[in-house]
Structure 1
Amino acid sequence: MSMEIYFAYCLATALLVLMPGPIVTLIVANTLTHGTRTGLATSIGSTTGTGVLLAVGGFGMVWVLAFLSDWLIWIRWAGAASLFYLGVRQWRAPVHGLDETDADQGPPKAVFLHGFIVAVTNPKTILFYAAFFPQFIDPAGSVATQLTIMSFTFLVIALILDSAYALMAGRLRPWLTGTHRGRLRNRITGSLLMVTGAGLALVRKS
């Protein structure tokens, strides 16, 4: 793979990751609700889930997804229900101000798991990577080496940009203080969580 192709791949990956989707909405919602560290934990969880899919696709183990497809459907539905419930609860949550005691107090294991589930249970993701990666592979070179480099690059870019979303949402969070803005914060984060849950539930195999 030439440097020109690699840089083109990096640019295409960055543009892809920057596009708002279920992962981005979940990261922003968790950050606005619990703080920056919680948003970063969500981005790490989603990157880990993406890494699992890349590993499965890279080793040609599509049969693993086929074998687990029924279980993944149930896991996806459970994750969707959980996110939607959290969204409703956040929408109806009492308004309170933000201070040092309630900042960054989200459950990191739970939000990591939510990020992981959203990333790994989307059946369209592995199919997309299968169509996206070959466009940048040089047949004259080692395909395995190129896939490894591209997968690692994808994960690094995804983690950086998803973390940037968390940091930006974290900067916005202190502005959403006071009774009126606190209610707005609850409505925004509740809506984002419900949309993410609904989107996860409505995903279909293609």
Structure 2
Amino acid sequence: MIDSNLYMGFVLATVALILLPGPIVTLTIANSLAYGTRHGLRTVMGTSLASALLLLVGGLGMASIFALLAQWFEVLRWVGAGYLIWLGVQQWRARAVNLAEAEAHLGPKKSLFWQGFVVSITNPKTIFFYAALFPQFIDPAQAAGPQLLVLSVTFLVIATTLDCGYALLSGHLRPLLSSERRGRIRNRISGAFLIGTGLFIALARKS
């Protein structure tokens, strides 16, 4: 069984890490403001799936696979960064519309899921946290496997819960910008967050 003191330390470290603004948070806020809570939560579904895959690979000790795919992750990171910045610019320059029109102009909902997936799978925060910090919370006197499983599930639950919180909060703020008159402000805020997400990814160093 995992040591309770180590576990509480891990929980606090995870909460602190997830609360720090990063590409996942900014993308979730951008999509929630632009399209509503439901679509923001769809983004979180994508980020959570990617995080789960990264944690699974790390938990299975597949460091060699990470090394093999490192260059592909780098290419994907730059492509994703460019795409999100482009989306942000388009959103910034978009014609102001009311919320009903904004919903009508929403593209395939799957794209928001895959936006979240790509941003999360190329996010060095998750990989760094697993590779550098997880070992600090493992009790060497206990079997490592069960401890890694508990820590991985805990990390995923906390990350998903907090990201959903960002989506819910942003979605509730959206009606304040619902009129066509305030649509330009909504577009600028959403566009700025998308551009910020792209910059976060572009400037992130590989761990």
The alpha carbon displacement at 1:106 in A equals 5.5
Q: Which residue of 2 aligns with 1:64?
A: 65
Contact 1:83 1:194 in 2 (8 A): yes
Q: Which residue of 2 aligns with 1:31?
A: 32
Contact 1:124 1:205 in 2 (8 A): no
Contact 1:38 1:107 in 2 (8 A): no
Tell me which moved more, 124-133 or 84-93: 124-133
Normalised TM-score (structure 1): 0.92
The alpha carbon displacement at 1:100 in A equals 8.7
Q: Does 1:134 align with 2:135?
A: yes
The alpha carbon displacement at 1:44 in A equals 1.3
The number of residue pairs the alignment matches comes to 206
Q: Does 1:48 align with 2:64?
A: no
The alpha carbon displacement at 1:103 in A equals 7.7
Contact 1:34 1:104 in 2 (8 A): no
The alpha carbon displacement at 1:5 in A equals 2.7
Q: Which residue of 2 aligns with 1:13?
A: 14
The alpha carbon displacement at 1:163 in A equals 0.4
Gaps of 5+ in 1: none
Gaps of 5+ in 2: none
Deviations 1:45-99 (A, max 9, x none): 1111111111121111111111112222221122112111110110011101123
The one-letter code sitting in structure 2 at the alignment partner of 1:58 is G
The one-letter code sitting in structure 1 at the alignment partner of 2:54 is L
Contact 1:123 1:204 in 2 (8 A): yes
For residue 102 of structure 1, give the secondary structure of its aligned residue in structure 2: helix
- What's the RMSD between the two structures over aligned residues? 2.0
